[in-house]
Structure formats: structure tokens, C-alpha cells
Structure 1
């Protein structure tokens, strides 16, 4: 049996692969005529290959030498001249594979080896680097031919340049990556713009956006205000050396931003000469001295209304393609929608803030003997306006009235009702009505408004002379008191129905006292109640917060109010507005005017007893206690006379005047005002008469008395003189 023929080395290793350039190549090796068949090479083949840039090769697998034509060598990057007029030396396989891209060489090696093994065809696309460093792409197609023994002998085929395909593929890959980046950018921009709540937020988000594929050199967001385009925010400009252009541009100006708004279509300018040619009026004053060379003006249109312009500028000339313009136009549409929402939000917020500023006290008046701190925090959601309020009312005699309340609801209607109720309650308190009457009248007032709203309220009158607090509560939270030793506790106050529910409801008064340096805290339920914390737990947390030693002085009280406000603002569960009022009684002051003023309702004669008791306490505090019996008797006569003989309320005012220094006499003056024009007459009553002795007592017991006319009604008064007792002479020493 004859031995099997020896096969040539397969090109798995491609040893000694050498390219020789010749003018024959495949034409001479494979495509020439077959002498046995008599076929000849078609005459049109060579011109057709030349016209299409196709080269041919013949690889002798036994000798590892490839015979290729000149065109094939040029396509493969093999030089035809070594610089001396001769052919360069052959290249071995390793030298040739070194010219290929590292990722493509193993692919070419595997495909050639498989074709040799199977006596089949192979083709490949690979990248190669020419001697000048430029990357090219090559495609080849070959078939392995066998010799008479059936062994692989030659690989013949074609090769052509695919560099254009390489550039096309690279560009396609680049565009695919860029489209992915732009899709991601649109999503991120939409998310960021949706989170922007104010116009400044929208401007900040826009001017910080990294545009993919078209990195800008400058960004400007301008808004249309009163017919002029005004810059809201910009980046890429130094405001000290080169302030942003295109500011305060009239809408009818010959300017690209104005044109974009008038036509509601973007304006793209690719170079500085184009800008100067199209808009000469805007070129010199606004753009000539800037460094930018290309611009895109994007009109911001929302619901058919022009809102402003986005300006994107570039440092170099740039002709934006259709995809760039589509991206910028899409971005302009998103910015316009976000700007429209932000403008509405800003308008609502300004309306709410302005209305709340008008309805709440602009400032707390200075109160001798007291330190106060107030805070209002709107609800975290909605229009940020509600019915919570506070008020501090100076009362006659240096006393102070404290009000904290909450009208049902968190809308403009609730805020309007709150404003009316606050003014009414303040007026009732300033007239001198006692706390129970103030609350009862406020309840009737709210019921008469017929708004469908009710309100909770706490009113407390604090006596500046000795720290007594008279409090009434209408369905509201109890106050908290921090004592001088640092302890804090809820102060129970007897309560009644919320205001506006029952016009005839009565409100009991609770009396408690403060020592100098002690603090009273009044608040609405938004401070202590959230979606996850009930009122009892919230009150306990608030009590622990204010307890403990604290510095003295107004600054310390303000610091405590700030801390309580910050804690409430940081809560994510809060959905109610908050009103907070802090008051600390500093103690009596000798220089403070000594005065007591009370309004006595005509229909409530029982108040006369209460007023007599307060007047007796005041006289004793003022150091003229020996006048207490006389002043109580005479005051009862004047007040009873005013209430019995008129159908209106009476106002009692008692003042103590110190004359001639601390050692001089003190003059106590008591006045009773009414609105009746009927003057009292002094008469002598009979033995069995039950009335008629009032003025006789006043005349007999007072040092002076009289009746004075007023614009409406009259004023009856009397005065008592109190003289300091003389010091006893010292006893003689033995």
C-alpha cells in the first residue's frame, strides 16, 4: 500500500507567509486560460476589477508565498518600493499579522486555517494600520484549491478596500452611543426639571445641564417680563468682565431672541459673520466683544404663550445637524413647561405669603415687663396658607392679651375667616372686656358670619403687676408653662365649644400665676400632631423640649422659638400650618403706670362683683390698701348707676398718680364712662327709699368728684387722696 501523500503545513500557524507583489497575480495563476479546456481569461475582467478597486492574490500554501497584483499590495498596505527603486523584501506572516488590529488578527488566522482544513472558502473584514499611522479596513474573499493529490495547494481570491465602510461603521457606532446618551439626558433633564418648583430652580437646572454631543460654551435662561426679555440666570459668562449679552431686549427689537419669540420658532446661527449679517443692530452692542461663535435661540412657549428664551452658545463655528436641533428644541419645550409650572407656583406662593403677612400681625409691640417671640410656619403642601394665627394685644394698665387660634381648613377661605376673626377678637380685648366676654363675643361674631367654618382658640390675659393669668379656651390645646426651676408642664384650662358652633356658649375662666422669669407657651396643633404622632405624644415631646435651664433675655426666647420652628420644618409627616407664641414675664416694674381698665357688660351685673375684687387687689398692690373699702364702695355706686340708667356697657378706669415724689401724697382717680346723655341728679331720698343715696356717698367720701361730657355720653369720676404716714420720732436715748 502506498504511503499517504504528505500534506502541506496548514496555516494555523502561518509560518513564513510572504507577500510578493507582481503584475500577474491571480490573472496569471488562476484566471488565465486552461490549456486543456481551451478557455481564455475574459477581456473585460481586468478593467472591471480596476474600476471597482479590487485586487487579486494567489497564495502558494506549500511555499507560503502570496503573489498579488499591485492593487492588492496597495490595499493591504504593502509598499511597492523600498525607496531605492526595488521591491521590498518579502514579509513573513508575523510581520503581516502585526499590521492588523489586535482584535482582528486572531479572527483572520482562524478563518484561513478552517478554509485550508476543509478545502473551502473564507472571507474576513479586518483593520490594518499603514506605515503613516492611518487606520484602514480591508475585506478579502478566497477559495482554497487542491493539487492533483487532493491536498491544499493554493488560496486564490480578491481583496478590496473597506475603509469607507469602517468610517461608516465607526460613525454609526458613535451615533448609536450618542443617541443613547441623548435619551438618557432627556430622561435626566425631565426628572430634574419636574423637581424644580420655582423659576430660579428651573434656571439653575437648565444652566447646569451637560448637553451630550454638543457641549456648549455658555447657557442663558431669559424670561419675558413687561414686553422685554430679561436674563434670569447664565453660565459661561463673567459678569465682572463681560456681562451676559441679550439682556433687557424689547420684544420688537431686531434681535434673534426677539425674533424667536415673535415667530415662535428656534433661531440657529452658525458663525459670527452670519450673526453680524443677519442682525447688525444687535451685533455691535451685545455680541461683538464676546468669545462665542455660534448660537441657538430656543423660544419657550407653553399653552400658546411666550414665556422666555433659552440661549445655547458655542465657542467655535458650528452647523447644527437635524438631530442636534431636534434635541435642543425638545429641551426648550421641557424647559417651557417647567417654567410655566414654576411661574404659577411662584405666583401662588407670593399670593399666599402676602396674604398671610397682611392677616398676621406685622410685629409684636414692645411690652414693658414681658418678652415675647412668635412664629408662623405654613403647611408643607398645598397653597401654604391656612387659618392658624397668633396675636399679642396691649391692654390698659400695661397688661397683655395673648391669642392663639386655628380656623378650620387650609385654604384662602380659611385665611380670610381667620383675618376677620382676629380683628374682631383683638377689638373686643382692646375694649377692656374680660376674657370670658371676649371669647363669647368672638364666638357670636363667627356664627353671624355664617361661613361654615369653626375655630379653636385660646385667649389669656396676663397681669403685668403680679403675673396673674386669666385664660379661656374654646376647643384649643392647653398652654404649657415653664417654671423658674426649669420644669415644664401642661397648664389645664377649662374649655368650651369651638368658636362659631354655639353663639350662646359660655367660657369659664381659669386663673393661674407666673413667677418672674417663667414662660408661657401657646401653639396650634400643627406643632404637636403629625400623621405618625398623636397630640398626647406631641405635647409630651414639646414639654421635654422647653424644659430645663435656659438663658434669660429676649435673645434666648427667640433662639428657643427658632429651635422649635426648625424641628417642625424638618418633619416630613407635617401637613398642617403652625402658629407659636412664647411669653416670659420678667416681673413688675415700679416705673410702669398703675392703671386698671375693665369693660362691664350691661347684661351681666355679676361682673360688678368681679371688678370690685380686681380693684381691691390692685389698690393693695399699689400701696394704698387703706383706701380699698372706700374705693370699692364708691366704684360700685358709679358702675351700678351707669348700668341701671343706660342700656349700654360701662368702662371702668382706675389710675394711681404719685405726686411730689415717693414721699408725697398719692391720688387715686376712678372713672366710669357710659354712652348715655342723661346726667345724674343729686337728690335727698326719703326714709323708706331704696335708692338715691349713691351720689351723696360719693360726695361725702371722696376728695373730689364730677361729671364730664364726652363726644358720646359722659364720664363720672371721683378721686381719693392717700398721704404717707409720718415717721415716728425716735425715742430719746437714756
Structure 2
């Protein structure tokens, strides 16, 4: 195309009046060669005269303009560019048409008319030049673009009289601009898409999240008809999620071996996308895989490998219902998308693996279930930490005790990571073992404190352990730096019950722990929890306990499981929670006629001789409650002899068991006391002299009991005696 020439310099009115001017031949030839039309605007008469080239450029030639006719502008919705007029209106009237300035402005595109008006008015006011670019719609409906240049001429008094200028077609420039705008718009859409896709994929936590985000992506400019996300598992490419496929046309690319002659396998082996523009290309390049595709509605495919850190993870597939040849930019966009999905999938699979590891470890370390305890209903909940590996050191436990009672434990090892969980597992097992051996609460806690200190892990733990009398609802609790328990009474009232406490476990191995005793009434609920339930970054423990008390008090008629779920939901809904939570609820149902009530079992450690006095007091109290208080002195004396004999003459612990059996219909009551140890050394009955200070224990047992003996007990032995009481009374609370 010939280069456009600049409009010639027009002589000023002082040298040549406009009505006498003519276009020079050399200028006419140049204008014709470059498709430039001329126009003349008589400002005072408000008439714009255009030559034939200008009319053609403006699209007015087809309107059938004749000499001197005005341009019909009614019904035109867009404007056309103004043509230049010649300098001499008189000589060109026979081959020119004229319009008014308002008719000319009515031809312009609504967005361009104000711009043209403003520039022309400014040029007239300043007696200067102006130019503009505007759009117009031809009668045939084609959109054209026009550029014009004009200059204002003045009379001898300096008043504007005429404007003359040139006009040329700029439709090619309009098309270029449109294409550039469209390309810019597509680039902007793709940039926005990549940004949004990266944001969505970065927020995807699990593999399922990645699949959901990918299958919902709206690709700009190349809307796909099908999306498939497949992962590499055990040497096969297996579909994880898909969209755009109905039940009758499931993706045929499932369970593809990695070494197969298949586009998905090739893309993953070579780490390079595979683009197939038609079914014919698919059939030619992959004849072995083509039979799987026959009958499916897809006609074009893009197989994008998912790779992270050089490791193949899977393939994402973009498919189309029609043949589609993707250009360079579209392929680049899809390749970029594949990279984003690959990185997100790698993070998600690592998260899933870590979560499964943490959940599995937590399941192993925590009780699989709460064991059933006659007379009690127990419910437990555990919520992992909201951040990190979602594993921690909080735990709970319910331990059936040898005497038929139940021990409940709630604890929290410092931290919520794998190390804390490991320490928690060891401490839980040790504390459970101490409790199951029959040690009293204070001894259980003291031994646990010593055990954690001996582990030398650098961790400490808070803990609350309580032994609950199943028969009478008596609770013997010890606390090591832990939260106090909360009690909801049967009438719905709630209160935090204070339990005397000591230092957390692992701080001082010689720490002793006082025992606090309180009782439960039938229907009362004992609630134990860790601080993650009540304490957050913005909520203190006291405020959190008060909030928990209100929640528990507001669920008077709720079942224990329903109450536990509501408490757990209130903790899970907190966005500020960053610690794990253990929760244990225990409701005492009252006395149960289906289980023996007169049973007591206690362990006395070899090095814990002070424990003998504690056991004597518990035995005396039990005999009184069982309604055979007349035997208390005898029982205390003989039991002390057997226990002392086992501790002095062996190097093992002793286990004392007391059991009362009744004859039916108020007959005799038989009290049996057993003391077992693991020593194979049997007792020898001696006859001490008058001055001897020992050796009379078995003589007392023989003389004061109704029956006694020694029996083998596994690797050790069991010494026992029985006392019979006539007409024993019913047990007392």
C-alpha cells in the first residue's frame, strides 16, 4: 500500500482567497494516488463540501448524492468521517455534495462525535489546525474508520471564515487495532486465569481439592468440553476426577500402564505435552490406543504431564468435541496450567500422606474405644490441632481397676507434634499400667511423674487422674498442673470443682500429689478436658471455662454423646484454635444390682511401706460399708499380718483382695481376704519363744480366722483367710 502523504500547506487568506483557489495538478495526482479526499467547510454558511474521493471514503457515494443536494442523515446510527473540501466551491459544485456540520456530526460514532466537535471548535477559536480519528458505519453495515486533518482560514479582520482539509480511510488501522485489542484482551484474560488458577490451586489442601479446582477451571479463549485429572499409582495412570463426560462416555484413559503406546503414557514418560488435533491424528500416531477412543464424542485432546521435582505424578487431559489445532500461545497456556496442577498435586499428596500418618499414629496412641463400665456411661472426643501435622500430646483414658472401680485420665504433653505424641503414648501406657496394678491415685501420679522424668525427653505434661467408686460415686482425684474438672449435676447446675494439685509431670520426680475427695449423685456428669478446648490466643482459661460451663449447663436434656458432639463443634468452629483437644465425659448412673458391690483390690509396693496404713484404712472403711463392721478390727489385724509377711519375706509387691459373699435370704456372710505375690518362697509356720519379737503372724491368722491357707498363683502364691459373720447387715453407702 502506498504511504499516505501529509496534507499540503494551504496559503493564508492574505495571499489567496479561498473562493479563487484550485488544487494544483501535482497535489491532485498525489491525493488520487494515495486515496486522499478533500473537503471545504464554509463556517458562516455552515456548509461542508466534499469531493468524490471524500464521499467514497465517507460511504456517502451510494446514497445517490447529486450536485447541490444535502446528505440524508435520518436513520443513520453511527457517524462517518468528514471528507475534505476543495478550496474553490464555485468551480466544483457540479461534482460535489454538501452537508451541514450537525448532519456531519450525526454520522459519527456516538463515542467519537464529542471528540471531533471539541477539536474542531478549539481550532476555530484559535484559528489553528485540528485532526481526529473516528468510526463510521457504511450503509451496507460495514464499520469503517476515517482520519482527517483541517486548517482554519480567516478574513482580513481575523475572523474565521473557512476550514479546509483532507480525509483518508483508516479501516485497515481499525482492524489492526481491533485485532490488537482482542489479543490484548485474550492475554489479559489468560493472565487473570493463570492468577486465579494459581490462587485456587495454592489453596487446595488435599488431592480431592486439587481435582475439584482443576475440573472447574474455565479456560479463557479455548473453553474445553472435557477435563480429566489422572494420577500415577503403582505404574498405572488412574483417573482421579473428570468433568464434561456423561455416564455413557466415561473417559477411556483409565488404568493405562506407564509403558503403553498411549498419549497419556507418552506425555508422562517424556515429560512433554502431547497435542492431538483430530481423531485422524490420534489414530495415526497411536493405533494401539485408538480402539479405546472409538465411539467417544471427543475430537481433539491435550495430554499435559504433571511433574514435580522431576518426579512424574500424573496427567491432566483437556479435550474438545470438535477438531481443534491449538496455536503456540494456547499450548503455552495449557503447559503452564499443567505445571501449576503438578506442583499443587505434589503438595496435596504430601499433605494427604502426612495427614494419614498423623491420624494413624494418633489412632494407635489413643484408646480405640472407651471400655464399657457397669454403672457408668463414658464418652470421649479428640480433635487434632488445626495447623501442622494435626497431631499432638493430648490424651484420655478409661481404666477398669482391679477393685471394680474405674480410673479416668485426661492429660496433655507439651507441644503438638510427632515428638509430643510419642511421649504421650509412653506416658499413657505407663500411667494405665500403674492404675491397673491397683495403686491409689496419689501413687499413680507420683510414679507417672518419676517415669516421665526418667525418660529425659525435655517435655512436661499436665494430667488429672481420678478413681471413681462405681458403687457409691465417690471420686478420689489428683491433679498435676491440669485444669480442674467440671461437674454437671442432675438438676442441670454446673460448676468447676477444685482439686488440690501439684507440679506438672516431669518437672520434679519427687513431687507428691494430694488427693481430693468428692462425690457424684446419680445422673451427675464429670467432664475432663485439655486446655485446647477453653484457651485460645484471645481467650484466657478462666473465660474459656466459663463459656464451657454455660454450654454444658444449656444442654440439660441432651444425651452424653450429643453433649460431647456439641462441645466438640464449638471448639472445631473456632478459627483461633491452634491446639489439639481431648474431652472425656463420665456420667454415674448409680448403684447397679447386676454387679458385685463388696469387692476391694489394692496393690502395695515393695518399697512403699507407708501404703500398708492406707490399705488398712480403706479396708476398714469397706468392711463398714459392706455391713460387717464388727469384723473390722480382726480384718485389719490379720490383713496387716499377711501383707507384712509378703513384703518382709519376699522382694516383690503384694496384691490385697477383699471380697464379701452373702448367703441367700439373709444368711451368713463370708469375708475372704487374699494377699498374692510373685515369689515362689512359701511361708513357714514357726513357734516363737516368749521373748521373740516376730514369728507370730501366721499363728494369729490361724487362731482368729475361720479358715486360712496358701495356694499357688502362677509363678507365685496366694495366702488367704476367711471370716464368717452371722446375719450380716446390708451394705451402707
1:638 is matched with 642
- For this pair of structures, how many residues does the alignment match? 682
Structure 1 match to 2:85: none
1:205 is the counterpart of 2:184? no
- Partners of 1:589 and 1:81 in 2: how far apart? 108
The alpha-carbon deviation at position 313 of structure 1 amounts to 2.5
State the partner residue of 1:273.
280
Give structure 2 stretches of 5+ with no counterpart: 1-12, 75-79, 81-103
> Of 699, 702, 705, which aligns to 2:702?
699
Aligned to 1:680: 683
- In 2 relative to 1, CA 484–92 (structure 1 residues): closer, same or farther, beyond 3 Å? closer
CA contact (8 A) 2:666 2:728 kept: no
Partner SS, residue 94 of structure 1: coil
490-499 or 430-439: bigger deviation? 490-499
SS in 2 for 1:460: strand
Query: Is residue 622 of structure 2 the alignment partner of residue 618 of structure 1?
Result: yes
TM-score, structure 1 as length reference: 0.83
8 A contact 1:237–1:244 mirrored in 2 = yes
By how many angstroms is 1:302 displaced? 1.9
- The alpha-carbon distance between structure 1 residues 207 and 604, as it changes in their structure 2 partners (threshold 3 A), is same
SS at match of 2:139: coil
Do the aligned partners of residues 8 and 108 (structure 1) sit closer, same or farther apart at CA in structure 2, a change above 3 Å counting?
Answer: farther
Task: Find the aligned partners of 2:294 and 2:18 in 1 and give their Cα distance.
Answer: 73
Contact 2:148 2:165 in 1 (8 A): no
1:582 aligns with 2:564: no
1:203-228 Cα shifts (integer Å, max 9, x gaps):
22222233222222222222222222
Q: What are the Cα deviations for residues 175-196 of structure 1, in whole angstroms up to 9, with x where unaligned? A: 2223233333333332222222
Partner of 1:437: 443
Match of 1:292 among 295, 298, 322: 298
Measure the CA separation in 2 of the matches of 1:607 and 1:313.
79
1:64-103 equivalences under 5 Å are 68-69=51-52, 74-78=56-60, 92=71, 94=73, 97=104, 100-103=108-111
Compared with structure 1, are the counterparts of its residues 601 and 118 closer, same or farther at alpha carbon in structure 2 (3 Å cutoff)?
A: closer
Q: Which segments of 5 or more consecutive residues in structure 1 lack a partner in the other structure?
A: 11-27, 33-39, 727-734
2:374 is aligned with 1:374: no
Q: Relative to structure 1, is the Cα distance of residues 724 and 146 closer, same or farther in structure 2, using a 3 angstrom cutoff?
A: closer
- The aligned runs of 1:412-491 (5 Å cut-off) are 412-491=418-497
Instruction: Verify the 8 A CA contact 1:119 1:152 in the aligned structure 2.
Output: no
Match of 2:232 in 1: 224
Counterpart position of 1:258: 265
User: Of 485, 508, 514, which residue of structure 2 is paired with 1:508?
Assistant: 514
Tell whether the 8 Å contact from 1:475 to 1:495 is kept in structure 2 after alignment.
yes
Whole-angstrom distance in 1 between the partners of 2:24 and 2:147:
20
Aligned counterpart for 1:591 among listed residues 581, 587, 594:
594
CA offsets 1:245-264 (integer angstroms, 9 cap, x no match): 42222222222222222222
* Aligned-partner Cα distance in 2 for 1:439–1:310: 57
The correspondence for 1:349, drawn from 343, 346, 355, is 355
1:660-679 paired onto structure 2 within 5 Å: 661-679=664-682
Q: Does the C-alpha gap of structure 1 residues 256 and 362 become closer, same or farther in structure 2, counting only changes over 3 Å?
A: same
SS in 2 for 1:281: coil
| Per-residue deviation, 1:68 | 4.4
- Residues 407 and 59 of structure 1, relative CA distance in 2, 3 Å threshold: closer
CA drift of 1:420 comes to 0.8
Checking the alignment, whether the CA contact within 8 Å between 1:485 and 1:549 is kept in structure 2 is no
Report the counterpart of residue 526 of structure 1 in structure 2: 532
User: Which whole-Å CA distance do the structure 2 matches of 1:674 and 1:682 have between them?
Assistant: 18
Alpha-carbon separation, structure 2, partners of 1:725 and 1:117: 127
Q: In 2, Cα distance between the equivalents of 1:649 and 1:519?
A: 35
Cα distance in 2, alignment partners of residues 541 and 41 from structure 1:
94
Q: Which of 137, 142, 159 is the aligned partner of 1:134?
A: 142
Within 2, Cα distance between the matches of 1:691 and 1:60? 142
Determine helix, strand or coil for the equivalent of 1:671: strand
1:398 partner SS: coil
Residue 565 of structure 1 is aligned with which of 568, 575, 593?
568
Which of 236, 245, 248 in structure 1 is aligned with 2:255? 248
Q: CA deviation at 1:360?
A: 0.6
2:687 aligned counterpart, secondary structure: coil
> 1:389 — aligned with what?
395
Structure 1 residue 713 corresponds to structure 2 residue 716: yes
Comparing 187-196 with 542-551, greater Cα deviation is found at: 542-551
Distance 1:618 1:31, change over 3 A: same
Secondary structure at 2:495 match in 1: strand
CA contact (8 A) 2:667 2:728 kept: no
- Check 1:641–1:65 CA distance in 2 against 1; reply closer, same or farther (3 A cut): closer
Asked if structure 2 preserves the Cα contact closer than 8 Å seen for 1:523 and 1:579, the reply is yes
Change (3 A) 1:9 1:460: farther
On the 8 A contact 2:486/2:528 being kept in 1, the answer is yes
Q: Equivalent residue for 2:97?
A: none
Q: In 1, Cα distance between the equivalents of 2:497 and 2:211?
A: 50
8 A Cα contact 1:435 1:459, kept in partner: yes
SS in 2 for 1:545: helix
Q: Report the TM-score, using the length of structure 2 for normalisation.
A: 0.83
Change in 2 beyond 3 A, CA 1:605/1:215: same
Quote the residue 2:96 is aligned against.
none
User: Deviations along 1:465-509, whole A, 9 cap, x unmatched?
Assistant: 111111122222222222333333232222223222333332222
What's the CA shift for 1:401?
0.7
Instruction: Tell me how far apart the structure 2 counterparts of residues 119 and 697 of structure 1 sit (CA, whole Å).
Output: 139
Query: What secondary structure is seen at the aligned counterpart in 2 of 1:320?
Result: coil
Between the aligned partners of 2:482 and 2:121, the Cα distance in structure 1 is: 93
* Cα distance, 1:30 vs structure 2: 3.6
Cα 1:81–1:102 shift into 2, 3 Å: closer
Q: In the alignment, is the contact (CA less than 8 A) between 1:684 and 1:692 conserved in 2?
A: yes
